[in-house]
Each structure stands twice: as structure tokens, then as C-alpha cells.
Amino acid sequence: MSLLDSYRMRLRRKRRLIRCVRKRRELKPLRNATKSIRPDDILLVCVVRNEKIRLPYFLDYYRRLGVDHFLFVDNDSTDGTAEFLTSQSDVSTWSTTASYRKSTYGIDWSNYLLRKYAHGHWVLTVDPDEFFVYPFCDSRPIRALTDWLQGTGVRSFGTMLIDMYPKGRIEDVPYREGQDPFEIAQWFDSGNYMITRNPTYGNLWIQGGARARVFFQDTPKKAPALNKIPLVKWNRRYAYVSSTHSLLPRGLNQVYEEAGGEKTCGVLLHAKLIDTLGAKAKEEVARGEHYRGSGEYQAYADQLDAQPVFWNDWSEKYLNWRQLEILGLMSKGNWA
Amino acid sequence: MNSLGVVMLVHADLDRAEQIARHWTASGCPVVIHVDRKVQNDVYSAFATACANDPLIRFSKRHICEWGGWGIVAASQSAAEQLLYSFPNVRHVFLSSGACLPLRPIPELIDYLAERPRVDFIESATTADVTWTIGGLDLERFTLRFPFSWRKQRKLFDFYVRVQRSLGVRRKIPEGLVPHMGSQWWCLTRQTLSAILQDPKRKSYDNYFRRVWIPDESYFQTLTRLYSTHIESRSLTLSKFDYQGRPHVFYDDHLQLLRRSDCFVARKIWPRAERLYQAFLTDQASAIKPAEPNPGKIDRLFAKAVDRRTKGREGLYMQGRFPRHRKGSALTAFPYSVFQGFAELFEDFEPWLANTTSACVHGHLFDPTGAKFASNEATTTGGLSSCAKLRDYNPEAFLSNLIWNTRGERQCFQFGPFDTQKICSFLAQDKNAQISVISGAWALPLFRSNLNFADIRARSARLQQIESKQLQALATARSGTRIRIWSLAEFVESPMEYLQVVVEDIGITQPNHLAEAPKMVDLTGFGKFMKNLKNQGMHPYLVGDFPEDDIFGSRSKTYTKPYLVQ
């Protein structure tokens, strides 16, 4: 990497930071309980819009893993999301009516909250339909992982997004508030992921899975990226550049081993492909606030009318993290 | 008052340290605690006050402890001196840390040591015998100088080591000392320990070891050799290190493993492993008969972890493992076979091969219209789609996924110049790819087609060009038995012999020889066809010298029907 490249990356990072600080004016605090954050608390940052139905289980799930405080940005919800969030004692909420697209799909807002409140903390940045699974997550809380990462001098933790889907058509089983979405979407593709290295930021670019197989078989290049780096020991100089796919400085993207070994890594189970997708896709296409002019949601909206079934004979039923590790979808690395 | 005393080095999680210290003293073992000077004074005094009501807990002079620095040795020295001085009954001194957890009832350890009153338990091996050194430094730990921190100033550290190596600078090892190394956690007798601490030359030894790298792994280990009458070169503390020299941590889910290890003390315990502390610090039933420590299972668990981190699962590509391709390395998880030209020469090659070898035999996986899986389905194991666009978007991922998903079952597939060619260099590089080529076999489908001759001529020219490029790619790959190339003319001379070779390559041993042959396509007139091509200016050189009259030697009609051999 040449000096010029390094300098260019530095500028890019600064630009992201300046941008996020400028965008802070768009965030209006609804309930700011960040004073109660203790120095070694584990935090979670999340941007939501009309996701109230998902939130009770989401909060539950991450509280059980040991997240101490939640920082939410509510982007103009109309379904009572804000009211629900402000009633939770371990949640701080900001609201904004500004454009999701113009805030680089929420990343500027997240970057601001991270910079302001997460400096020196281990912090998860996830979407409300992403559920973090890491090695030993059934017996060790997330703090065991972060303590270990800290002890081995690791600052960031890599995952892959796994699209989970139900056995039949996705609108067959309605999702109830508070329910574990993986009671409905129990299935996933175990071995059709395509990986290349992104030379710009040094992260891996992973595509594939159920969405690529069903929605993007004619345009595989447009299939959504599945590589995510959601868990970082944050520093105010850091910045996410595109969703949580990559960060700056680039060293944080080196969550994979190139010399043959396996680094410890996890997955984000993706509960997108349930009955709430149809309404969401229609709404987001109309708003046009998502990546590539909501191109991804356009594809969903177009094809959902055909009522696709993701399940096939080769689908794997989700059991636990050990199954994922045997399938090669995550790794314990040298954490034993 | 007891014959076992404990030195405890503490730098964090003081409440756990107190819990452990009280556990030791409950069995009558005095404990001298060294608290790292980096711990803030008010935290320290709160801790000291909390422990004040226990007369068996004392605190020693505080030193700053840096990893790999002299401070840890100095701390051990001060605390051990204090322990020996304050508790004259103590016969064995046990060095432990705040993250150590006694796994067996303390009286068992006391009895164990009482039966071995003269034995020093300290892992102590010469530099030639240790394999676990970090950074490749073993004897050089004792002969070079290390003013820079390995963790914080790695580049300077490495640079300075290189400079000293190239200049040939050597420190002199004090006379009489033979460098030994081993685990930092020991249990020494009063006699040995006091001999070390009261040695008239201690000052010069200390000065020497102050500049040795990681002296806590060598100071006592080396000096014990001077005085001990009976060394057992092992540590009573179960402590495992990863490939970077950092200790492995135990969690709640290790409970059964730790119980069955029969070790006396284990480290390092995660301070929040509530269940472990709960289980091992409450009264537990003693073992029925005294057992020797047996950490074999735990050793294997951590050895596996290190192996996974340094080597990983071959042929797996995922978010934590994306190896750079190196020449001659395996790019896939399991050996597989690629057949070029066989399905063109034999009518029923795929079912025949599946039958003969019980491997999974696919058709043309890289067919431009979509992958032809063995099952003839649109998807196969792992959700791999036959869609051509998805496959050709990243053919290397497609193939390595297929091989990974079916690991354990031999995969075979057909390939040829009609297929999309992007995978070709991957096949040539991958040492798991067993490639058999009948060059020129692409002429057979053209020969049997109903195309105009001008089209046939143009097509065969293109196919020959593609195949010749393939063969070039294969030629640059490593030589060896994994790539076999015959020309069509050569192959039809003695097909059974070559098929035998191919089947043996797959590694499924046949009791004798092949009993059944696949049915070869009718070659009558092929020689003439070749000649016509030549006459039209297209020289099919990859086919080889095919006789114009289709007669090889004296066998004239052999190839028109299936036959049995031997």
C-alpha cells in the first residue's frame, strides 16, 4: 500500500467523521440515558424504521447475550417504535425525520453515536433483523468474547450474514411480536457463498446464500454483500464506510487469516425473509431511500408477487452455533 | 500452621483474588499477595483492608509488572522472602496468580506435597528441548539484549534483535549457569527457594536476568538447577498457551473437563466464570483414591485450537479464512477427478464410472447452459445452484464450495473445450484436482453431428484452439501423476489399459481388473472425417495420428460394440 493510498484513506476517514458530526443536528434525543453507561459496558447501536414488531425479541436477545446499553436512531417511524423504545430503561433513543439515503443509509448517524458514546467500549452495530451468533454463545456471554479479544489484542470481529427462511412461502406464517423469528425462518443455505477480496478497504466481499440464489440469479453482481464487522472496540477515530461491511482505518477489516489458519469469527442470522418483508419492500421502493435506489427492495417487490419458496431439499435446519462451525460458516479459531 | 504456603501475584479482579486467597487460608495455608504497583493505591488499600481480618493473608512490597519484564520475578522474590520469613513452618512455596483456581481440595495438595518433601515442582528444560518459544528466540533470550517491548514496540524489538545478530553481539552467561526455561508457575521447597534467594551471587544473577527476555520463564527455572536435589520438571499448575504465547482461558463450559483433569490448580480462569468458582471453591468430595494430574484431554483441546488458528480446515473459504493461493497448495478440501473427452468417446461413461468407482459423477459442471449435477437437479448440496450466471460469477467459489459441501465423497465431473473456461487455471493449480484428458475428443460430437462441413471446420478450429490453451495451462502446473493427457488416437489404441489407470487414480481399488467397459461410440469413418478436415486446411493435431481406415493393428471391428476383457 503506497503512502498516497494511505493518505487517501486517511482523507476518506476524515470525511466520514466530518460528515457524521455534521449530521448530528438531524438527531433529536427522545430519551438520553447515556449517563448511566459505565466505563466497560458493552453497547449496541441500531438504526430502525417501523420495526416495532421486531424490537421486543431483539432487545431480549441482546440483553441475554449481555449488552448493557442500547443506542437507537428512530428514522421517522409511524408504528409506535419511538414510544416503545423510550419506555425501556436501558435504551437511549434519538429520532430523525431526515433522509436515510442522504445519511449514507444510516451510517452517518451510527458513526456519530459511536464517536460520541462508544469511545473505548466494545460495541455492536446491527440492524433490527440481525442476530449475532458467536462461538460458545450458548454458554458464554458476549463479555467473555470481548475480554478474550481484548486479551489477544484484537479490535474487531468478523461475521457473515446468513439469510434464514421458512420452509414454505414466506407469507404463510405470520410473525407475532415478541416471537423468536427463527421459529419461523429455521432454514438456511450452507454452502453457496462466494468470496472475493476488496482491494480498496482490505475486507472480504461475500455474496451468495438464499437471496442470491432466488432473487439475483440473473444479476449476481448485485446480490447483497454478506460480510459484516459488527463488533468493534470503538475509538472515536474509527468510522464505518459502507453499512457495517467495512471500516476505516483499514486494519480493522483484517478479520480473516490469509496464511491458511482460521480467525475466530461468527455469523449474523438474518431474519429478513419472513412475512413482514412484503410490506417493507413495497414501502421502501416507494421511498427510494435504500442503497442503489432501493434496487434490492425493487427486486424483492418484483419477485415477491410470484411468492417464491426459498426452501429446497438441500436447505439446512438451524440447530446451534456448533452446527454452523462444522459446516464451515463460522470458526472458533483458537478460542477454545 | 501448615507446611504449604502460597505466593499470589495479582493485578486485576481483586475480589476474585480475595476469594481464592481465603480458600487457601481456610485450609491453613498462609498466603502472601503481591499486588501490581500499576493498581491504583485506593483500590489496593480497599483490597488490603478487606483481607485484614485474615491473619494468614499478608501483602508484600509492590513492583511494577510488565509482561516479559523483570518485575514479575522481583515480585515473586519479595513475596517468597516474606513468606519464608513470616511462616517458618512452610516447607513448600506455591507460586500462583489471582486467575489461578484450585481444582482439588487443598488438603489433597498438602498431602501430595507432604509425601514428596524434597521435590521441587518446576518445569525446567534446556533451550534445546523447548518447542514453544515465541518469536523463534530460545537461547538468544539469554545472549541478546531486549530494551524494547515485544508487545508495544515490535518493530524496534525485531530490528534490534537483527542488529545484534548481524553484529554478532553476545552477552556472557554467568559462569555455572545453564539456561533453562519453563512455565512461570512453580512449587519449590524452602531449601531450594532460600538457597536461590540467599545466594551470595544473587546480585550478579539478578543483574544478568534483568536483561534476559521473559525472565519469569527462566530465572527460577535456571537457578533451581543449581541447588535442587530432586526436580520434577513439570508444573502443578495447569496452564496452556496459544500460539502467540497468551494463556488460554477457562470458562463455565470447561467445568467437566477441569474436574476430570485431576490437576491441582488451573489458570487462567475467566473472572466471571461464576459456575467454575462456585463448583471448585465450595466443599467438594475428595477423590476416592489419590490421582496423578492428567491434563491430556485439555492438552488436546488446546492443541486443536492452535492447529485451527494456524492451519485451519483445508479448502474452506469463509469470513475468517481466505488464504492466498500458493503454488502447489490445495485449493479445495478433498481430491476430485476431472475428465475431458471421456464422455465424448464413451456413450455411457458417466453411469459406468459411477458404477465402477461409487464416486459421485457429475456431467459437465461448467456447461454454458448451466451446471449438470449428478442428481440432474437445479440445486445440489449446500444450496449450490446450477444457474450458469451464478456459477460463472465466481467459478472458483462454485467449485471449492461443491468440493467442501461433499467432503468425504469423491467427486468426478466432465470438462471440455465446449465449457466455460474461467475455472481452467484454478484446476491446473489445485493439487486436489486429478485431471485426465483425451485431447481431440471434441472432434467426435462434430463427426457425429448433422452440421454443414464448413461449420464443422470452423468449430473444430475453435475447439482445438481452446483445448490447446488448456493443455498449456496444465503443462505449466506441477508435474506428477495427477494430470494425464492422451491424444484420441493414442487412447483408442488400448482404452482398457488407460481406463484402468484412471480408475486406479481415483483410489478405489478394484479386486482385479475392470470387469466391464463403457461402450465406445462408433468410430467407423472417423479416419476419413479427419482426413477431410485436414484437406480443408484445418489440421486436427490434438487428435493424434488417426489411421484413415480406422484400423489399428489387426483389430478392425473391435470398437463397435461393448466387450468384456480378461
Answer yes or no: is A333 within a domain. no
Given A148, A192, A333, which is nearest B320 (Cβ)? A333
- The CA distance from A145 to the nearest CA of chain B, in Å, is 11
Q: Which of residues 23-82 of A touch B (CB under 8 A)?
A: none
DSSP output for A294-322: HHHHHHHHHHHTT------TT-EE---HH
Nearest residue to A106 (alpha-carbon basis) of A134, A135, A74: A74
Nearest residue to B34 (alpha-carbon basis) of B61, B54, B67, B15: B61
User: E-assigned strands of chain A?
Assistant: 28-31, 43-48, 69-75, 91-96, 122-125, 130-133, 156-163, 187-188, 193-197, 204-208, 227-233, 239-242, 246-248, 266-270, 316-317
Q: Which of residues 308-347 of B touch A (CB under 8 A)?
A: 308-313, 316-324
* Cα distance between residue B229 and residue A36, in whole Å: 59
A84/A3: higher pLDDT:
A84
Determine contact, residues B440/B540, Cβ cutoff 8 Å. Answer: yes
What's B552's DSSP letter? B
B301 contacts A265? CB cut-off 8 A: no
Determine contact, residues A228/A117, Cβ cutoff 8 Å. Answer: no
Kindly give the confidence (pLDDT) of every residue in chain B, 566 residues in length, as a single tens digit, with 9 standing for 90 and above.
Answer: 578 999 999 998 999 999 999 999 999 999 999 999 999 999 999 999 999 999 999 999 999 988 878 899 999 999 999 999 999 999 999 999 989 999 989 999 999 999 999 999 999 888 777 666 655 667 788 888 888 877 788 888 888 888 988 888 888 888 888 888 888 899 999 999 999 999 999 999 999 998 888 888 889 999 999 998 899 988 888 888 887 778 889 999 999 989 888 889 998 899 999 999 998 988 666 555 667 788 888 888 888 998 999 899 999 999 999 998 776 678 899 999 999 999 999 988 999 888 888 889 999 999 999 999 998 888 899 999 999 999 999 999 999 999 999 988 999 999 999 999 999 888 888 888 899 999 989 989 888 888 888 888 888 899 999 999 988 888 877 655 588 889 888 888 888 888 888 888 887 655 556 677 888 888 888 888 888 888 888 888 888 887 777 665 444 444 444 444 44
Amino acid at site A220: P
- The CA distance from A269 to the nearest CA of chain B, in Å, is 14
A153 contacts B319? CB cut-off 8 A: no
Answer yes or no: is A97 within a domain. yes
Alpha helices for A40-103 (secondary structure H): 55-65, 81-86
Chain B CB contacts of A221 below 8 Å: 393
- The CA distance from A266 to the nearest CA of chain B, in Å, is 8
Using CA atoms of B441, B444, B449, B451 in order, give the dihedral in degrees to the nearest 10.
60
Answer yes or no: is A321 within a domain. yes
- Chain B residue nearest residue A217, CA to CA: B390
Grid coordinates belonging to A124: 455492536
> Cβ neighbours of residue A125 under 8 Å, at least 6 residues apart?
A44, A45, A46, A110, A114, A230, A232, A240, A244
What pLDDT score was predicted for residue B132? 61
Q: Which of residues 377-396 of B touch A (CB under 8 A)?
A: 377, 379-385, 387, 389-390, 393-394
Given B304, B320, B383, which is nearest A255 (Cβ)? B320
Mean pLDDT of chain A: 91
Amino acid at site B482: R
Given B270, B318, B380, which is nearest A160 (Cβ)? B318
Alpha helices for B115-254 (secondary structure H): 140-143, 154-167, 190-197, 202-210, 219-227
Q: Which of residues 248-307 of A touch B (CB under 8 A)?
A: 255-265
B253 contacts A257? CB cut-off 8 A: no
What's B521's DSSP letter? P
What pLDDT score was predicted for residue B559? 47
Given B242, B320, B404, which is nearest A158 (Cβ)? B320
- Chain B residue nearest residue A136, CA to CA: B253
Question: Domain segments of chain B: what residues?
Answer: 4-128+183-310, 336-560
- Number of folded domains in chain A? 1
pLDDT tens for each residue of A164-216 = 999 988 888 999 999 999 999 999 999 999 999 998 899 999 999 999 998 88
Answer yes or no: is A332 within a domain. no
Answer yes or no: is A336 within a domain. no
- Sheet with B31-35: strands ordered across: B57-59, B31-35, B4-10, B92-97, B187-189, B120-121, B231-232
Q: Is A221 on the interface with B (CB under 8 A)?
A: yes
A151 contacts B316? CB cut-off 8 A: no
Q: ipTM of this complex > 0.95?
A: no
Helix or strand holding residue B58 (H, E): strand B57-59
CA angle A290, A296, A302 (to 5 degrees): 120
Q: Which of residues 158-197 of A touch B (CB under 8 A)?
A: 158-160, 189-197
Chain A CB contacts of B323 below 8 Å: 257-260
A204 contacts B322? CB cut-off 8 A: yes
What pLDDT score was predicted for residue A13? 93
- The CA distance from B389 to the nearest CA of chain A, in Å, is 6
What pLDDT score was predicted for residue A14? 93
Amino acid at site A146: T
Determine contact, residues B157/B146, Cβ cutoff 8 Å. Answer: yes
Burial class (CB in 10 A: 0-12, 13-18, 19+), A114: buried
Confidence band (pLDDT; 50, 70, 90) for A265? very high
Chain A CB contacts of B242 below 8 Å: 152, 334
What pLDDT score was predicted for residue B290? 63
pLDDT exceeds cutoff 70 at A1: no
Answer yes or no: is A323 within a domain. yes
Determine contact, residues A147/B270, Cβ cutoff 8 Å. Answer: yes
Nearest residue to B3 (alpha-carbon basis) of B124, B97, B92: B92
B389 contacts A218? CB cut-off 8 A: yes
518493530: which residue's cell? B155
Q: Which of residues 241-300 of B touch A (CB under 8 A)?
A: 242-244, 246, 248-249, 251-253, 270, 272
How distant, in Å, are the alpha carbons of A115, A135, A239, B105 from that of A17? 8, 32, 7, 56
Burial class (CB in 10 A: 0-12, 13-18, 19+), B454: exposed
* Cα distance between residue A90 and residue A99, in whole Å: 27
Please report, for the domain that includes residue A210, its CATH number. Answer: 3.90.550
- Chain A residue nearest residue B303, CA to CA: A334
Query: Domain range holding A193?
Result: 3-327
**Helix B274-281 / helix B14-26 crossing angle, nearest 10 deg:** 10
* Cα distance between residue A174 and residue A185, in whole Å: 11
What pLDDT score was predicted for residue B37? 92
Beta carbon pairs, A and B, within 8 Å: 173
Q: Is the dihedral of CA A25, A26, A29, A35 positive or negative?
A: negative
Chain A CB contacts of B426 below 8 Å: none
Alpha helices for B431-536 (secondary structure H): 443-447, 453-476, 488-493, 495-506, 526-535
Residue range B336-560 forms a domain whose CATH class is alpha beta
**B402-418 as b/e: b if 16+ CB within 10 A:** bbbbbbeebbbbbbbbb
Given A140, A192, A258, which is nearest B251 (Cβ)? A140
Topology of the domain covering B4-128+183-310: Spore Coat Polysaccharide Biosynthesis Protein SpsA; Chain A (3.90.550)
Grid coordinates belonging to B317: 473459504
**Which residues share a beta bridge with A28?**
A95
A190 contacts B312? CB cut-off 8 A: no
- The CA distance from A280 to the nearest CA of chain B, in Å, is 26
DSSP output for B373-433: -TT--SEEGGGEE--HHHHHHSHHHHHHHHHHHTTTS-EEEEE-TTS--TTHHHHHH-TTE
pLDDT exceeds cutoff 60 at A15: yes
Q: How many residues does chain B have?
A: 566
A333 contacts B309? CB cut-off 8 A: yes
Q: Is A329 on the interface with B (CB under 8 A)?
A: yes
How distant, in Å, are the alpha carbons of B26, B371, B373, B436, B486 from that of B413? 70, 10, 9, 11, 18
Q: Is A332 on the interface with B (CB under 8 A)?
A: yes
B320 contacts A260? CB cut-off 8 A: no
How distant, in Å, are the alpha carbons of A123, A231, B213, B347 from that of A67? 9, 12, 40, 63
Grid coordinates belonging to B417: 473445450
pLDDT tens for each residue of A61-110 = 999 999 999 999 999 889 999 999 999 999 999 999 988 888 888 899 99
B309 contacts A328? CB cut-off 8 A: no
Neighbours of A191 (CB within 10 A): 23
pLDDT exceeds cutoff 90 at A140: yes
